[in-house]
Structure 1
Amino acid sequence: MGGAAHRAALCPCRTHGALRHHIANGHDWAQISKSSRFMYGIDKDSYLVRLAKIHLSLLSGGHPNVSNLDTLAIQPGEAGADNDFPEGGFDVLLTNPPFGSKIISASQSTLARYDLAHKWKNSKNSSRWEKTDAVKTNVPPQILFVEQCLNLLRDGGRMGLVLPESLVSNKSHRFVVQYLMDRAHILSVIGMPDALFKTSGKGGTHTKTVLIVAQKDEKRQLGRTTIFMSEAKWCGHDSRARAIPNNDLPAIAETYAKWKNDSTIVESPLGFLLKEEDVENHILCPHYYDPKVLEEIASLSESCEIYKFGDLVENGTLSINTGDELGKLAYGTGNIPFVRTSDISNWEIKHDPKQGVSRTFFEKYKMKQDVRDLDIMMVKDGTYLIGTCAIVTPDDGDIVYQSHIYKIRVNSNKLGITPHLLLAVLSSPVVQRQIRAKQFTMDIIDSLGDRIMELQLPLPQTEDARKNLSDVVEEALRVRSESRKLINQAKELAAGSLGGSRMAVFPRNL
């Protein structure tokens, strides 16, 4: 990257990192000074630019090319006195653009120049998205940076971008992934840990990110490349800015280099391959394609019947709904449980939920929510609780449940699927691993969304095996219900003994 034939555009901190890399690899002062002439830093903050120039000058002994510019306002190829960028574009580009839907990224006239600032529509008869003439009033900067980085690169140039995972995962951004894949080869996508950019206090962000490495190719043919995928569990610092001792990135880099050198790879979450033609619905986040999930499902196919959740909904075996948000003014108005995600645990709904609502609210939502015994509640949105299940029993009485929860009902069917059987299957390791793989990021929380329809459910092959598993779960729930009644009885006896004049006598059969 430091040679005369390669010119790199980087945000100033990446320029600093590149020079430190040269120093760490033993390059002499003359080489480092020469290399710095072909590195360009760009930042909108004039103060940070001045600091970067001083720091980089001390590192390189040269005069760094750090420009105080609005990256999104730059028009590549346009002559101007405010920059001396290389003609034809950069060879390498590294950046970590600002994230945020509320950031004003560009003026309306600047937005009009970007394809990705336009509204895009999807034809029902095609998986392709088409740009319309309408321009949005505001676009998150990370979306525009994808297009601008491609514009600043020469054909064949490479770029490394740190982007929110939602940009390569969520339904609303599929046109962005299509645009990127139309103009570049995706070389690798590496998922970063959730806590990578979290810090204590007001700093940092809870946004989960991915690192994308791509090579610009305006004349490429889709479906002919292979993408290196990986998911780093550990790296960087924790939310208190303390260095994490474990670091998956060196192992990921080693696996990637080995694949590039001799085309071999031992698949694991730290490195696996995905053919471009196997990219589903323009989703590029690595955990969605977790190879361990596919291996587990394949290994179970000989001993189980595999049913897709969405197919069971379509044929009427299952029904699925979500609840409602009542608002904070409803909290504490009564004793009817308002079931939230934290109230679902260990196959049961807590009997002492944090919030209760009045009967007025219950009657308002009773018909719409239609909660019945043996309905299954599953957490839909959140962080660590997604996929947690409970089953409604007569002990639960009247309840209202929130919108972050699915209500799943087993209807009459010929497959031998009972609510108790489904509860066990949904809680099984192979289904829970699928849920972890398919959940996606929405700002500061995750969601399974309509990807629940993609879950592959392994059911015992024989009717007897299905009935036996269902009976075991039903008996376990019956025993727990009896235990709960005994616990309540013990509490009442304890309250009576402590509040009365004489010590209560506890029955021996408790």
Structure 2
Amino acid sequence: MELVDVKFNDDGDIIDTLTGKVLKDTPEERVRQRFINILQSDYGYPRTIIAREVPVQQGSKVLSSDDGAEIRADIVVYTSKKACLERDQGNILFVVECKKPNATEGYAQLVSYIFNTSAVGGVWTNGTGISVYKKKTGNEVGLEEILSLPRYREKWSGTDSIPNKSELPRPHNVRFLLSACHNKLYGRGMENEDFDLAMDMVRILLAKIQDETTPGEFPRFWITESDFQTAEGRKHAATEIQTLFREYADQFPDVFDPHEKIQVGDDCIAEAVGVLKNWSLAARNDDADDWDLMGETYEQFTHINLKRQQGQFFTNRLVVDMMVKMLDPEIGEHTLDPAGGSGGFATGIFRYLRRKVLSRTAANSPIRDRQLNIIKDSVYLVEIASRLVKIAKCAMLLTGDGQSGMTRGNSLDLYSRLDPWIVSRCAKGKSNAPAVIATNPPFSGQKVESQISDKSILKNYDFGHSFKKTDEGNFVFSGDDSDILQHQAPELLFIERCIDWLKPGGRMGIVLPKGILDNVSYEAYREWILDKCELSGVVTLHKDTFQPDTGVRTCILFLRKPDEEKMPREDYNIFMAMSQRIGQDSKGNSVFVLDGNGNNTGVLNHDLNEIADAYIDFVSGNEHQKSEYIFTIKKSDIKDHININPQHYSPKLNAALDSVLAFDNKENWATTTVGQLEAGIKIYIGPRWNSASIKVDNPTDTSTLIPYLTANAALELRRFTIKWLDANRADQKQKSCIGKLKIQEGDILISRSGTIGKVTYATKDLAENYIVSDDLVRIRVKDANLRAYLLAYFTSSTALSLMLLDEYGSVQQHLQPRHIQEMLIPVPDDWSLAKNMIDSGNMFMKAMENMSIADKKIRTQGFDVLMEENNK
């Protein structure tokens, strides 16, 4: 099933879906084009009876606005092809008024169009919602709102007849359908937060699916036009919908409260029923494309309306698809997400398995039916939040059933306390234990309140106890109750639980904070993991993967649990990849592949399919695609505190390291570390501090204030971005920090967080007049030639590669001064051999000084000063 969207030409202009003409790209035109497509795909109106921008006449005269411009209806649907060709105002069926997505006006225009033409009704839409009106019958003048837009050849007069369930068509534009339903609830002036309305959307959808999947020829999820026009009729329909939801909820008492019901009022429910009643939403397993679209759209809708509540965010859909593809679950294998959230991994696995069934079996065969039933009973989810379990159940129903495996529980608690459905069908240590686990557990970050502090849980985990290092250099976790930690990060407990729960020989993929790969504080946990499992692969994800919800840098570990009573192999190959493109920017806006002319191709620009394909080849033993971002290492290659960050083993970055090390074998050259270049070399950062209380915004007089530069501001060639601080308001600690943040002329400054490795030089003006953020590493050397040489070295791509080898962190990438101190650098026996580099470094410093002097002169004697003096 293909959903046709707005078409664009190579210049970014819209191509009209009706005529092929080129139109200017505007928000209103996008809404109009999408709705023209909806009229054709979902409501069946032929293209030949639809026209856009039709002048509206009053008698023989075309109506005009106050400024004399012709008044045109956005979309007109005629009674016939002939009427459309002739623009016959006497044979208009209905008109449509389109507004840009956030606009609400337009009703008065719609009334004008309807009563100046033969139209029986009209539609208002802003692309996400829809309201339908028809002329009142009899002698009454005016419009009345009706439930839904009649399909092609249906009567606008309405009918109280109820169709057979089997006659209900599938919607093509599911996003529009869900948005329209949500807008009906929201438009009723509810005071609930969006997530409450979204939950009522879920309850209403579950009632709809309950109706479609239970016996009965005619739908109970229905309201007639005549019932909609009376309070009693709306109440009767709403009561039936509440009953349907209760019938569904009673099947899952662990998820739904005994008195839980749809919260919005009867009128809201009646309007929602009016939007959804004409469509079939329940599962049809033989159409994978159809259900993939339905499930994906629902998940996107709920994620938008539920994101970030209680600190939760949802796994990027591209990451889900990549992980499932790499884990490659087979039909009959039990799969589990123990931190299931809203069901992203569960539905992703179900879709993947269904495609396997449909590709391997014949249509309408007993084998196909049997295998489809098998996969319904092989996908499991555990989630502690009942709200998310409800969403997951609805997502699975819209994806094609399998929702009985969606259960509520605390996966970190004792197995015996989990839902009996899980205990009996997906239990640890049994033949039906999960063979595949895919999960994205909650991260605590630095927030202690987000960590697990319940000792009754912590005592059951190695990771819930403290550890110590033995004389042999290994780590040992204490099992003693006296050594239980005060709190522990949930993601660490989930790693241990997943490995324990996994069936011997099984495989798992888990999304984690990137810091777990290389932070020294996690070394003991990495050693424990490698003692229990084989590390099949590590993928670091792009920094925008979970934006705009969170800036946490993430990775994925792929692990394989050894077969029963076996240990991991001593040595083996490990797949490593670093994603460079994720198909969106930091604001969550889609980023598409461009063609050779720079035009949007409509294909998301990401590299996760490429990574997944390479991994599949790797697991299969075939030669896989390799690049500077996709490669393999041996387990025996792992070094430096069990660092398993792919970046640390990057062929490109390590080639830079090898090229520096090669100077040890070159005549008249040697390799040393930056920290050993000169006795007394100083490499440090300033103190961390908070200057908010002494910051002065937009001061008119800065003569008594201190100018403060962030790292980015200090890297600017000119001083455009200055923060002003009032030292008189500073406490003793802040005054101490101000002194320590001063720099000296000649210092080399390197950015150490965010985008690391940017280099600048402390000019006389910078050193004398500013204090500078601790986000810049300071390197201070006495020897002028050595300073110039170092500056030339730090601005090289080789030095940047060496810095990238050592960056670490889960939120922002960081460098510490020790990383600069330990950086390798080639040095000559005779500095005349490095004359060119020293000269270039000196030229850089001189240019910076000249720029600083010019900048200061422009600010104190430039045109702005002349204008100020002239205006006095």
Q: Structure 1 length normalisation: TM-score? A: 0.84
C-alpha distance in 2 between matches for 1:411 and 1:263? 56
Q: How far apart are 1:82 and its partner, in Å?
A: 6.5
Q: Residue type of the partner of 1:297?
A: L
Pick the aligned partner of 1:354 from 723, 737, 753. Answer: 723
Residue 334 of structure 2 is matched in structure 1 by 7
Label 1:342 to 1:462 Cα distance change in 2 as closer, same or farther (>3 A): same
What is the Cα deviation at residue 483 of structure 1? 4.4
Question: Does 2:823 correspond to 1:455?
Answer: yes
Cα 1:144–1:483 change in 2 (3 A) is closer
Question: In the alignment, what sits opposite 2:498?
Answer: 149
Describe how 1:220-369 pairs up with structure 2 within 5 A: 220=567, 223-244=570-591, 245-262=604-621, 264-265=623-624, 267-279=626-638, 280-299=640-659, 305=669, 307-309=671-673, 312=676, 316=679, 318-324=681-687, 325=689, 327-332=691-696, 334-345=704-715, 350=719, 353-356=722-725, 358=727, 364=736
More off after superposition, 481-490 vs 402-411: 481-490
Q: Deviations over 1:375-410 (max 9, x none)?
A: 2222223x12x2222222333315433332222122
1:506 alignment counterpart: none
Matching of residue 380 in structure 1 with residue 752 in structure 2: yes
The Cα shift of 1:106 comes to 5.6
CA 1:37/1:189 → structure 2, altered by over 3 Å: closer, same or farther?
Answer: same
Counterpart of 2:476 in structure 1 is: 130
Name the CA distance, whole Å, in 1 between partners of 2:625 and 2:743.
48
Q: Write the letter of the residue equivalent to 2:788.
A: H
Q: 1:57: Cα distance to partner?
A: 4.5
456-465 or 148-157, which deviates more: 456-465
CA contact (8 A) 1:344 1:389 kept: no
Which residue pairs with 2:843 in the alignment? 475
Q: Is the 8 A contact 2:806 2:815 kept in 1?
A: yes
CA contact (8 A) 1:168 1:284 kept: yes
Distance 1:307 1:117, change over 3 A: farther
CA displacement at 1:112 relative to structure 2: 1.0
Residue ranges of structure 2 left out of the alignment (5+ in a row): 1-328, 360-367, 592-603, 697-701
Counterparts of 1:20 and 1:320, CA distance in 2? 54
Q: Which residue of 2 aligns with 1:118?
A: 465
Q: What secondary structure does 2:841 align onto? A: helix
Backbone CA RMSD of aligned residues: 3.4
How many Å separate the matches in 1 of 2:402 and 2:858? 79
* Matches of 1:329 and 1:58, distance apart in 2: 52
Structure 2 residue aligned with 1:446: 813
Computing the radius of gyration over CA atoms, which structure comes out larger, 1 or 2? Answer: 2
1:21 aligns with 2:352: yes
User: Which of 209, 216, 224 does residue 554 from structure 2 map onto?
Assistant: 209
Mark the CA change 1:342 to 1:160 in structure 2 (over 3 Å): closer, same or farther: same
- CA gap of 1:379–1:240, structure 2 versus 1, over 3 A, is closer
Secondary structure at the aligned position of 1:162 is classed as: strand
Conserved 8 A contact 2:718-2:855: no
The code of the aligned residue for 2:442 comes to: P
For 1:481-496, what aligned pairs fall within 5 Å after superposition? 481-491=849-859, 492=861, 494=863
Structure 1 residue 47 corresponds to structure 2 residue 387: yes
| 1:30 has 2:390 as partner | no
8 Å Cα contact 1:425/1:458 also seen in 2: no
Deviation at 1:434, TM superposition (A): 2.6
Paired residues of 1:337 and 1:357 also in contact (CA < 8 A):
no
Counterpart contact for 2:409–2:419, Cα < 8 Å: no
Larger strand proportion, structure 1 or 2? 1
Identity, % of aligned pairs? 20
Question: Hey, what's the Cα distance between the residues in 2 that align with 1:239 and 1:486?
Answer: 36
- More displaced, 10-19 or 294-303? 294-303
Distance 2:569 2:335 in 1: 27
Q: Which residue of 1 aligns with 2:759?
A: 389
Between the aligned partners of 1:404 and 1:474, the Cα distance in structure 2 is 25
Cα 1:238/1:24, change in 2 over 3 Å: farther
**Which 10-residue stretch deviates more, 52-61 or 180-189?**
52-61
Count of residue pairs brought into register by the alignment: 488
Which digits, 9 at most, give the CA deviation of each residue in 1:243-263, with x for residues without a partner? 442121121122222233345
Contact 1:33–1:60 (8 Å) recurs in 2: no
Give yes or no for contact 2:350–2:379 (8 Å, CA) kept in 1.
Answer: no
Aligned equivalents of 2:670 and 2:455: distance in 1? Answer: 51
1:465 aligns with 2:814: no
* One-letter amino acid of the counterpart of residue 318, structure 1: I
Decide which moves more: 237-246 or 221-230: 237-246
Moved more, 250-259 or 459-468: 459-468
Alignment partner of 1:194 out of 514, 527, 543: 543
**Farther off after superposition, 279-288 or 295-304:** 295-304
Cross-structure match for 1:508: none
State which drifts further: 368-377 or 181-190: 368-377
CA distance 1:15–1:494, change in 2 (3 Å):
closer
Measure the CA separation in 1 of the matches of 2:617 and 2:459.
Answer: 43
What whole-Å deviation, never above 9, does each CA across 1:50-99 have from its counterpart, x for those lacking one?
A: 34334435544566322211111133799967732244332111111111
| Residue 407 (1) aligns with residue 742 (2) | no
Tell me the equivalent position of 2:437: 93
Give yes or no for contact 1:33–1:61 (8 Å, CA) kept in 2: no
Distance, in Å, in 1 between the alignment partners of 2:476 and 2:745 is 47
Paired with 1:322 and 1:349, the residues of 2 have a C-alpha distance of 23
Shift of residue 115, structure 1, vs aligned partner: 0.7
Bigger RCO (CA 8 Å, 6+ sep): 1
- Distance verdict in 2 for CA 1:76–1:106, change over 3 Å: farther
What amino acid sits opposite 1:205 in the alignment? Answer: T
Pair 59,2 (structure 1): closer, same or farther in 2 beyond 3 Å: farther
Name the SS of the counterpart of 2:543 in structure 1.
coil
Distance in 2 of aligned mates of 1:240 and 1:476: 36
Judging changes above 3 Å, is the alpha-carbon distance between structure 1 residues 337 and 116 closer, same or farther for their aligned structure 2 residues?
same
Amino acid at match of 2:710: R
Offset of residue 371 of structure 1: 3.8
Displacement of 1:343: 2.6
C-alpha deviation, 1:168, in angstroms: 1.9
Moved more, 277-286 or 350-359: 350-359
For normalisation by structure 2, the TM-score amounts to 0.51
- Is 1:140 the counterpart of 2:489? The answer is yes
Between the aligned partners of 2:847 and 2:419, the Cα distance in structure 1 is: 79
Shift of residue 372 of structure 1?
3.0
SS at match of 2:415: coil
Kindly state the Cα deviation for residue 299 of structure 1 after the two structures are TM-superposed.
4.0
Q: Give ranges in structure 1 of 5+ residues lacking alignment.
A: 503-510
CA contact (8 A) 1:8 1:91 kept: yes
- Kindly indicate whether the alpha-carbon contact (under 8 Å) linking 2:407 and 2:419 is maintained by their aligned counterparts in 1: no
Q: Distance in 2 between matches of 1:190 and 1:501?
A: 62
Contact 1:288 1:438 in 2 (8 A): yes
Determine the C-alpha separation between the residues in 2 that align with 1:118 and 1:83: 26
In the alignment, the residues of structure 1 paired with residue 858 and residue 719 of structure 2 have an alpha-carbon distance, to the nearest angstrom, of 18
Q: CA deviation at 1:432?
A: 1.2
